[in-house]
Amino acid sequence: MDMTRLERIDDFCWRVKRPDTTRAEARLYGDRALVAAMDDKVLEQIGNVAQLPGLVGPAMAMPDAHWGYGFPIGGVAAFDPDQGGIISAGGVGFDISCGIRCLHTTLTLDDLLPKSEKLADSLFRDIPAGVGVEGSLQLGDDDLDDIMTEGAQWAVRQGYGDGAELEFVEEHGRIKGAVPDDVSKTAKKRQRGEMGTLGSGNHYLEVQVVEKVFDRAAADAFGVREGQIVVSIHCGSRGLGHQIGTEYLVSLAKAAGRLGITLPDRELACAPINSPEGQQYLGAMNAAINVALANRQILAHLARRTITHFFPQARLDTLFDVSHNTCKVENHEFERKKRWLYVHRKGATRAFGPGNPAIPLKYREVGQPVIIGGSMGTGSYILAGTKESETRAFSSASHGAGRQMSRHAALKLWHGRTLIDELRANGILIRTRSMRGAAEEAPGAYKDVDAVAAATEGAGLAKRVAFLRPKVCVKG
């Protein structure tokens, strides 16, 4: 990153210098080292986002930001429909509502270790993962329409888990405003065999141990303590979401001129929120969010079933389920005025602070759980949203470690089998059908997750609660 193009606001916030003629502002969050290591493309992309109509406040990049398509990964931007604000398919991404479901358990590391090999094998057998791998469900269009409108509530109705845990899922497992008719037949076809599947790339199911607690009060509220086993599931809306993303990206890019929008980058394909095109994308995107919520509900149930086979007395309850590729309608105060805004988070997590009524009552005093998913060899963080994040970033925070190296470069540096053997020697069991995927996901291909989490806290976006070390990882 060319740091001369940035003005320092404070130790963790940087403003992109702009010509006098440009009103819009773009900001990068992170300490100097993280920001300096970001690709210049992040600057270019967040600068482009800042030019979109109806932007409220700055366009922002989180501490884990890296070059994406359209928005940078780690990009956050809020738009006001009453000021010509837009909704952008490129601001959500293809893996709509990709996110993390985290379950806390009554197990400890001592319970896990004697059985970890067999558990890893069983999870690998029971959790459909990888390109081309389907789940046990084969669904018709009517079922899919129900999933698109009911989300995780559909999955509970089918016997996947308990309705009570939906309190700990964003939107209680079902977002309103989904319109299955705005989803193409092709998208529905792609989803027929994909409910209850993990997918590929950076998706995973991990059995982790809570290695360190940073904030005792928040950890107590979340039901987390050192030595405890937790399970995290990272995946999204699968083929249906991918198809919606691809279709609307092209159709909105082609429609932009007709809708009077000059796109600084075609990938920022968007439409005014109050246009028929914008509403249509919103209906389809919400349908995909519900599919993702249902998918993680099913996978959580499958994981619970496998783990309780080994540990019949164990309880696995949802700590929280939060997405990081969405556009959501939220009420935020900006310039002393409450406004309904369309907040795009592409590779960024919602992070409501204490007192927000959308947070489960049990967590309301400490803030919403935020999950930063790290690499399979390093670890992940649970954080809590802060009051400060509301004014800093429309209540948003980092979502992962963030890549620091391309997949192509990672393939040149690491070999899947060797890497898996090295991780095993370090007490981390990997199960995957893709040696290529393992090499692409090498821990060294990611930024330092400790630095990202510390910068997220330093920037006031969320505070660290606990660090999780992977013990078993099923990779897609």
C-beta of 72 vs 385, nearer to another protein: 72
- Residues in CB range of 182: below 8 A, 6 or more apart: 280, 281, 283, 284, 287
Rule CB under 8 A: say whether 44 interacts with another protein: no
In whole angstroms, give the CA distance from residue 25 to residue 16. Answer: 7
- Give the end-to-end CA distance of the chain in Å, rounded to a whole number: 32
Q: Which of 30, 47, 91, 93 binds another protein (CB under 8 A)?
A: 93
The reply on whether position 457 binds another protein by CB under 8 A is no
Indicate left, alpha or beta for 161 from its phi (over 0: left) and psi (-120 to 50: alpha).
Answer: left
Rounded (10°) angle between helices 276-310 and 116-126: 140
Q: Is 399 a catalytic residue?
A: yes
- Binder among 46, 107, 269, 454 for another protein (CB under 8 A): 269
Q: What is the DSSP letter of 265?
A: S
Q: Note whether 435 binds another protein by CB under 8 A.
A: yes
Query: Residues 6 or more apart from 302 whose CB is under 8 A from it?
Result: 126, 127, 196
Q: How far is the CB of 287 from another protein (least distance, A)?
A: 17
Q: Give me the catalytic one of 324, 332, 399, 415.
A: 399
Query: The dihedral of CA 201, 237, 332, 248: what is its sign?
Result: positive
- 245 near another protein, rule: CB under 8 A: yes
CA dist 224 and 127 (Å) reads 25
Tokens representing residue 102 in the block: 């985290």
Taking CB under 8 A as the rule, does residue 201 contact another protein? Answer: yes
Nearest C-alpha neighbor of 376 from the set 432, 433, 322: 432
Q: Binding of another protein at residue 24 (CB under 8 A)?
A: no
Q: Rounded CA gap, 173 and 153, in Å?
A: 6
For residue 417, state whether it binds another protein (rule: CB under 8 A): no
Least CB distance from residue 404 to another protein, whole Å?
A: 8
Choose one: 195-203, 223-231, 284-292, 306-314; the region binding another protein (CB under 8 A). Answer: 195-203
Do 62 and 348 contact (CB within 8 A), yes or no? yes
Identify which of residues 111 and 441 has a Cβ nearer to another protein in the complex: 441
- With respect to another protein, which residue has the nearer C-beta, 124 or 168? 124
Asked if 267 touches another protein (CB under 8 A), the answer is yes
Q: Encoding tokens for residue 69?
A: 């398509």
- Binding residue (CB under 8 A) for another protein from 105, 243, 286, 356: 243
Site mask, another protein, residues 50-79, x = CB under 8 A? ----------------xxxxx--x------
Decide: is 409 part of the binding site for another protein (CB under 8 A). Answer: yes
Rule CB under 8 A: say whether 266 interacts with another protein. Answer: yes
Q: Give the total of residues touching another protein (CB under 8 A).
A: 51
What's 174-214 look like in SS3?
CCCCCCHHHCCHHHHHHHCCCCCCCCCCCCEEEEEEEEEEC
In this structure, are residues 221 and 174 in contact, taking their beta carbons and an 8 Å threshold? no
Q: Which is nearer to another protein, 14 or 94 (CB)?
A: 94
Nearer to another protein, 17 or 436 (CB): 436
Interface segment toward another protein; rule CB under 8 A; list 125-133, 148-156, 285-293, 314-322: 125-133
Residues 206-235 that bind another protein (CB under 8 A): none
Of 74, 59, 85, 102, the C-alpha closest to 371 is 102
List the structure tokens of 281.
Answer: 């994308």
Q: Is 244 helix (H, G, I), strand (E, B) or coil?
A: helix
What does the per-residue mask of binding to another protein show for 281-320, with x meaning CB under 8 A? ----------------------------------------
Interacting residue with another protein among 27, 104, 174, 242 (CB under 8 A) = 242
Q: H helices within 59-115, ranges in order?
A: 109-112
| 193 binds another protein per the rule CB under 8 A | yes
Beta-bridged to residue 472, according to DSSP, are 207, 429
* Active-site residue set: 399
Contact positions vs another protein (CB under 8 A) = 39, 41, 66-70, 73, 90, 93-95, 130-134, 186, 189-190, 193, 199-201, 239, 242-243, 245-247, 249-250, 253-254, 266-267, 269, 403-409, 433-437, 440, 476
